[in-house]
Homo-oligomer: A and B are copies of this chain.
């Protein structure tokens, strides 16, 4: 992988992005290149560089030294660019077909050069528009099992695992999750953002001591349990999908954390679609949810048999005990995702895009209630069938 000569940070423009592509020899020497910035400008610049003759293209992504959310901007480390590139490369060792290729990265410019995936669409957008993505859940189940098993203590020598855990220490981005997912939505905090019609339910939630005790446990798990190298932000907006392909992008929140967090964030984001859909379309989402867990479980189990270096792995019951713990965590983290995306700072279009308003408020209430139930009942619902059963009760 090409690494640029050390230089200091400066924001790229379309012209300097082309120069960078040339310097990196990403195209033939005399290629005529065009460039357009296609990012949303909140966190990163995203340049698409194309060869006018052959039509081949690459993406140059550059982290901005600040984040813009709801019009405000605050400083945000550009080190996240290095974390992202390293996580793509590390996960790419295990699931090269499910992550973009990384052609180059530069720490000082906070730049990652990756495969152009613009023939695919963002899974969230596609799902909202009714796309089916028949391989989505199978692919993500495989992605989760392989990246999470193979970076865990079950597969890595303890020295290598601890080296990676230190390398992927990611305090700044973890803090965003600690605040926006695990803390603010459970308190009357300025960062929250909910429609006035939800106020009563939100006040109840803030007074629900049992729920807060459980949310505190989940937060503690997030800040203390270094199980595997997580993606760290695996919602449906971090996935490119198409009729046959799936690519997981944007792992800038990667760090060593609890396995159930990645699984739970993905399932949590499918649950928004379960909430907003009806009939056969809803069943298709439930099939995706079940397939995600089933493929995760079976692939993880295969790796457990074939790649496990932990002597206790051969003891009857140890695998089941561990995967039960992951399932319980998954439900809890999915619950947190449902709540925070409904009443916290950062929303999802799955809910916010619903019209008319009455219907939207009704569905948002369901999201809060389902999130609460997932957090509170995660020890009782012991299989994915229990979860699907609970979802089907809702509709009947």
Contact = CB atoms under 8 A, between A and B. Distances in A.
Given A213-B321, A315-B209, A315-B216, A163 B153 contact: no
A165 B158 CA distance: 16
Interface stretch (A27-35, A166-174, A336-344): A166-174
Main secondary structure of the interface of A (DSSP, over half): helix
A183 B317 contact: no
A322 B321 CA distance: 21
B165 A215 contact: no
Nearest to A211: B315
A387 interface: no
Contacts of A227: 224
A169 B163 CA distance: 8
Contacts of A186: 311-312
Number of copies: 2
A390 interface: no
A131 interface: no
A212 B312 contact: yes
By size class, the interface of chain A is 35 or more
Interface string A307-342: 000111001111001100000000000000000000
Contacts of A322: 220
A132 interface: no
B187 A159 contact: no
Nearest to A315: B212
Interface string A211-247: 0110111011001111100000000000000000000
Contacts of A172: 159
A215 B166 contact: no
- Most chain-B Cβ atoms within 10 A of its Cβ — which of A153, A171, A317, A321? A171
Interface of A: 153, 158-159, 161-163, 165-166, 169, 171-172, 174-175, 178, 183, 186-187, 209-210, 212-213, 215-217, 219-220, 223-227, 310-312, 315-318, 321-322
State the 6 A-B residue pairs at the shortest beta-carbon distance, nearest first.
A216-B312, A162-B171, A212-B315, A213-B317, A159-B171, A216-B318
